[in-house]
């Protein structure tokens, strides 16, 4: 269950500078003649700063919970974030990803992580368990290597799922974990994507938003969380949780609730002296409320011009 939220907003001044810098660079203006990069406004923290802030807030709000691991995608696979996240979480394992062109040091030689695992330390087939459930086949190789950009040794793992051609490269701070444990722990990172999917598909977050920007996103998020909370209090969900069984999915609970409402409506309709007349009355109300709207994608009845050559203008194409 997600417990912390913060919306990232790019620094307007930096965004404008970056756009102008790219334009000037494209037309050949030397770097010394281009505007200097402005300092970041503290009101617009970076994504890594936001993540560390959320981690600190979590520790304060939930001090009794022991953090075993911090999982983040490749954006957070930099030295500063991984070291600080390990420190803030009480020395827990921090797992992220490296880019394939990032350098590692092996036997005194610097080479890319892709080159190392494709030529020196090739992968072998293994079976892992995804989020404690389904077992799948993967190709894996690992080593404790010094990552150049981190200036220290990390646990680096090359991982390729069945059917994939290229490796992804996991990086972890705690060298005492086993390879399989790091991989299986990192599969848990996908859970946040499941929450995003539930909010967007079933709870209205970001769909047909009437108010944009941070305030609009925050309001949509609050409504989504309230809806999530209501579903947690659904009688069948409560019974499931109290029995220590996996909770029902948001989608299945939503569909079940919709059917419950439909059955309740039919039951109440049948209690009227003349259900047929009441149904007709409701049908007219539905027509007024849910009106069909013409599509703007269809061109029927529109004047699109001639869309063909004009004979008197043939001389324009001569020569």
| pLDDT at res. 297 | 67
| pLDDT at res. 105 | 94
Residues 114, 170 share a domain: yes
Cα dist. 176→71, 93, 185, 197, 251 in Å?
17, 9, 14, 34, 40
d(CA 235, CA 9): 39
d(CA 99, CA 77): 9
List the one residue out of 49, 48, 45, 50 whose CA is nearest residue 6: 50
Quick check: is 298 in a domain?
Answer: no
Residues 120, 206 share a domain: no
Residues 95, 170 share a domain: yes
Residues 198, 172 share a domain: no
Residues 201, 137 share a domain: no
Total structural domains within the chain: 2
Quick check: is 155 in a domain?
Answer: yes
Estimate to the nearest angstrom the gap between the alpha carbon of 264 and the chain centroid: 37
Q: What is the CATH number of the domain that holds 87?
A: 3.90.350.10
Residues 162, 94 share a domain: yes
Domain boundary among the residues 246, 269, 292 is at 269
Domain boundary among the residues 225, 252, 269 is at 269
Residues 210, 128 share a domain: no
d(CA 158, CA 260): 49
| pLDDT at res. 291 | 77
Residues 161, 99 share a domain: yes
d(CA 186, CA 120): 24
| Residue-number span of the structural domain to which 257 is assigned | 194-269
DSSP 248-296: PPHHHHHHHHHHHHHHHHHHHHHTSS-HHHHHHHHHHHHHHHS-----S
Quick check: is 222 in a domain?
Answer: yes
Quick check: is 198 in a domain?
Answer: yes
Domain boundary among the residues 177, 211, 242 is at 177
Quick check: is 32 in a domain?
Answer: no
Q: Is 27 exposed, middle or buried (0-12, 13-18, 19+ CB in 10 A)?
A: exposed
Q: Find the length of the chain.
A: 319
List the one residue out of 157, 171, 146 whose CA is nearest residue 82: 171
Tell me the Ramachandran region of residue 157: left when phi exceeds 0, alpha when psi lies from -120 to 50, beta otherwise. beta
For 189-200, write each residue's pLDDT tens digit.
888 887 777 766
Q: Is 44 within 8 Å of 11 (Cβ atoms)?
A: yes
Residues 87, 165 share a domain: yes
- What kind and span of H or E run contains 110? strand 109-112
Residues 171, 77 share a domain: yes
Residues in the chain where the model's pLDDT stays below 50: none
Residues 165, 96 share a domain: yes
Quick check: is 89 in a domain?
Answer: yes
Q: Torsions phi, psi of 77, nearest 5?
A: -85, 40
| pLDDT at res. 70 | 93
Quick check: is 254 in a domain?
Answer: yes
In this structure, how many other beta carbons lie within 10 angstroms of the beta carbon of residue 140? 21
Residues 220, 249 share a domain: yes
| pLDDT at res. 204 | 58
| pLDDT at res. 212 | 64
| pLDDT at res. 208 | 53
Quick check: is 3 in a domain?
Answer: no
């Amino acid at each position: 269950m997600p417990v912390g939220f913060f919306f990232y907003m790019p620094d307007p001044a930096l965004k404008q500078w970056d756009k102008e810098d790219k334009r000037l660079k494209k037309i050949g203006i030397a770097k010394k003649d281009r505007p200097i990069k402005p300092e970041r406004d503290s009101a617009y923290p970076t994504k890594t700063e936001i993540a560390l802030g959320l981690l600190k807030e979590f520790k304060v709000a939930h001090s009794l919970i022991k953090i075993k691991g911090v999982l983040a995608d490749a954006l957070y696979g930099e030295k500063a974030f991984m070291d600080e996240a390990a420190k803030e979480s009480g020395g827990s394992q921090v797992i992220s990803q490296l880019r394939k062109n990032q350098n590692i040091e092996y036997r005194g030689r610097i080479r890319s992580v892709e080159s190392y695992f494709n030529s020196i330390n090739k992968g072998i087939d293994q079976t892992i368990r995804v989020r404690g459930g389904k077992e799948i086949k993967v190709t894996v190789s690992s080593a404790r290597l010094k990552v150049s950009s981190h200036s220290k040794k990390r646990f680096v793992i090359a991982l390729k799922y069945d059917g994939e051609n290229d490796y992804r490269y996991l990086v972890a701070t705690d060298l005492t974990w086993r390879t399989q444990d790091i991989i299986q722990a990192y599969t848990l990172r996908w859970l946040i994507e499941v929450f995003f999917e539930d909010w967007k598909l079933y709870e209205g977050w970001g769909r047909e938003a009437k108010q944009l920007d941070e305030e609009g996103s925050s309001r949509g998020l609050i409504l989504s969380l309230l809806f999530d909370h209501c579903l947690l209090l659904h009688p069948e969900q409560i019974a499931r949780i109290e029995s220590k069984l996996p909770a029902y999915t948001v989608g299945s609970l939503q569909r079940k609730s919709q059917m419950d409402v439909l059955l309740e409506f039919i039951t109440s309709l049948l209690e009227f002296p003349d259900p047929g007349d009441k149904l007709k009355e409701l049908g007219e109300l539905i027509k007024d409320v849910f009106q069909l709207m013409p599509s703007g994608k269809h061109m029927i009845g529109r004047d699109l011009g001639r869309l063909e050559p004009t004979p008197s203008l043939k001389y324009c194409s001569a020569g």
